[in-house]
Amino acid sequence: MASHTRTETLALREQFDTEAQQKDASTLGMWIFLITEIMFFGGLFLAYTVYRRWYADIFAVTSSSLNVYIGAANTLVLLSSSLTMVLAVRAAQLGKRKALVVFLILTLLLGGVFLGVKAYEWNQKYVEHHIPGPDFHFEGVAQQGPAQLFFSLYFAMTGLHALHMVIGAGLLIVLIALAAKGRFSASYMTPVDVVGLYWHFVDIVWIFLFPLLYLIDRHLGR
């Protein structure tokens, strides 16, 4: 009756035998969750691919109405948030609590900046009547239907991405609180590692969204 009378700690839940086993399980669990996210966004990429094949010219014109410089700048913001996140994970691995908290806060701030820029872009689209709906109107394109389709895909993809950013920000806030209380050590830093994986995934989604939405046939020049 000896095997399971030991007390359960954060690092070693009662259903696991060793801490390494628990860490591997958590990491594998997050990777498989990321697979479901890839397939979730995959459905949107499929719709994008089909409709871009059908309405290539209209998609080019509507894509050119997006401000590419803001988009590129926003991509850099998100890439730097990925850098600070990985440095946070590194700090956790080395057990440097202060560095961990600082990098987590930096990641959170950069995420906030990204969402702020996003909100600005969306507001810009609102002002230009490019939000799909009754008062949608896009100048200089023959068919309003496919133009609205592009912006439906644009708002669906960037909206879903922004939702995942907000969830990521929430996770970061929880991590900052726990890290500040010193709950993580070099031997137990799985939550930081796992949230890092999630954050980098959200960054990778944007790495694909940026060229696919902003950079369609920019050479046409509008």
Partner 1 sequence: MGKFPLFPEQASTFAPEVDHLLFFLLAVAAFFTLLIFAAIFFFAVRYRRRSHGELPEVQHGAMTLEILWTAIPFGLTMVMFTWGASIYFREARPPDDALQIYVVGKQWMWKIQHMEGKREINELHIPLGRPVKLTMTSEDVIHNFFVPAFRTKQDAVPGKYSTTWFQPTKAGKYHLFCAAYCGTRHSAMTGWVYVMEPRDYANWMRGGESTGSLADDGAKLFQELACVNCHKADNHGRCPSLVGLFGSTVKLSTGGTVKADEAYIRESILQPNAKIVAGYPPAMPTFQGLVTEEGVLQLVEYIKSLGPSPAALGGAR
Partner 2 sequence: MTPAVDVERETYLNAGHDLKSWLLTKDHKRIGLLYLFTITLFFFLGGAMATMIRLELMTPQGGLVSSETYNKLFTMHGVAMIFFFLIPSIPAVLGNFFLPMMIGARDLAFPRLNLISWYLLVIGGLFAIFAMLAGGVDTGWTFYTPYSTTYSNSWVIATALGIFVAGFSSILTGLNFIVTVHRMRAPGMTWFRLPLFVWAHYATALIQVLGTPVLAVTIVLLLCERLLHIGIFDPKLGGDPVLFQHMFWFYSHPAVYIMVLPAMGVISELVSTFSRKPIFGYKIVAFSSVAIAVLGFLVWGHHLFVSTQSVYAGMVFSFLSYCVAIPSAIKVFNWTATLYKGSISYATPMLYAFGFVGLFTIGGLTGLFVACLGIDVHVTDTYFVVAHFHYIMVGGAIMAYLGGLHYWWPKMTGRMYPEMWARLSAGIIFLGFNLTFFPQFILGYLGMPRRYHVYPPEFQVLNVMSTAGASVLAVGYLMPMIYFIWSLRYGKVAPDNPWGATGLEWKTASPPPLHNFDETPVVTHAAYDYSTVTGEGIDFG
Partner 3 sequence: MTEHIDSTKTYVLVFVALVSLTVLTTAVAFVNLGDFSVVAALAIAVCKMLLVALFFMHVRHSTQLTKLVLAGAMVWLGILILLTLTDFATRGLAGVPGR
Residues that bind partner 1 (CB under 8 A): 57, 142-143, 145
3-state secondary structure of 193: helix
What is the rounded distance in angstroms from the CA atom of residue 169 to the CA atom of residue 191? 14
Residue type, 180: A
Q: What is the chain's alpha carbon radius of gyration, rounded to the nearest angstrom?
A: 21
Q: Which does 57 bind (CB under 5 to 8 A by kind): partner 3, partner 1, partner 2, none?
A: partner 1
Burial 160-169 (b: 16+ CB within 10 A, else e): bbbebbeebb
* Phi, psi for residue 10 in degrees, rounded to 5: -55, -40
Q: Which does 218 bind (CB under 5 to 8 A by kind): partner 1, partner 3, partner 2, none?
A: partner 3
- The smaller minimum CB distance to partner 3, of residues 134 and 221, is found at 221
User: Strands (DSSP E) along 50-201, which ranges?
Assistant: none
Residue type, 215: L
- The smaller minimum CB distance to partner 3, of residues 141 and 189, is found at 189
29 scored as a contact of partner 3 (CB under 8 A): no
Residue 119: exposed, middle, or buried by beta-carbon count in 10 A (0-12, 13-18, 19+)?
exposed
Residues at the site binding partner 2, with contacts judged by CB under 8 A: 1-4, 14-17, 21, 24-25, 28-29, 32-33, 35-37, 39-44, 46-47, 50-51, 54-55, 132-133, 143, 145-146, 148-149, 152-153, 156, 160
Encoded one letter per residue, x for contact with partner 3 by CB under 8 A and - for no contact, window 173-212 reads -------------xx-x---x--xx--xx-xx--xx-xxx
* In the complex, minimum distance from the CB of residue 173 to partner 3, in angstroms, rounded to a whole number: 21
109 scored as a contact of partner 3 (CB under 8 A): no
DSSP category for residue 218? G
DSSP category for residue 8? P
As given in the structure block, the two tokens for residue 81 are: 């948030």
Which span sits near partner 3 by CB under 8 A: 87-95, 113-121, 131-139, 140-148?
A: 87-95
As given in the structure block, the two tokens for residue 83 are: 């850098």
Residue 29: exposed, middle, or buried by beta-carbon count in 10 A (0-12, 13-18, 19+)?
exposed
Residues in touch with partner 3 (CB under 8 A) = 23-24, 27-28, 31-32, 34-35, 38-39, 42-43, 45-46, 49-50, 53, 68, 72, 75-76, 79-80, 82-83, 85-87, 90, 93-94, 186-187, 189, 193, 196-197, 200-201, 203-204, 207-208, 210-212, 214-215, 217-219
